[in-house]
Amino acid sequence: MTTDHVFLADCRARLAFDLLANTWNAVTLWALRHGPVRHGELRGRIGGISQKVLTETLRRLEANGLVARRAHGGSPPRVEYQLTDLGRTLLDPIDALGAWAFEHGDEVTAAQERHAAGRADAPGEHP
């Protein structure tokens, strides 16, 4: 397989970039890696995400075939979310990005700080 044209606007590789561009998508997929979870427990695992944003994220991931929603009868009804087989295929790339961030995060933060300091010192420029 050649990758010469993988970054064109209409190429399939852009699907992955679009999916991972939203921070909550990758975080939610990673939080589901151990099996089915209810909404409230998932929100607790993630932390820092509102109920509304988590619901939107789960719907988006479900629409893309990465997460399955399963309703259980009873009173009150229970709903669980889990990765689909397709969703599981993204765990290795997410893990690789996380490992990269762990290894190089300090370098990126330092570069951001240098850039911000340079902009603050530049005459006539405002951040």
2 vs 35, residue with greater confidence: 35
Render pLDDT for 106-126 as a digit per residue (tens, 0 to 9). Answer: 999 999 999 999 887 766 655
pTM for the predicted model, two decimal places: 0.79
Q: Which of 78, 46, 92, 83 is nearest to 65 (CA)?
A: 83
Asked if 10 contacts 16 with a C-beta cutoff of 8 angstroms, the reply is no
pLDDT of residue 12: 77
- Hey, what domains does the chain have and what are their CATH numbers? 13-89 (1.10.10.10)
Would you call 73 helix, strand, or coil by DSSP?
A: coil
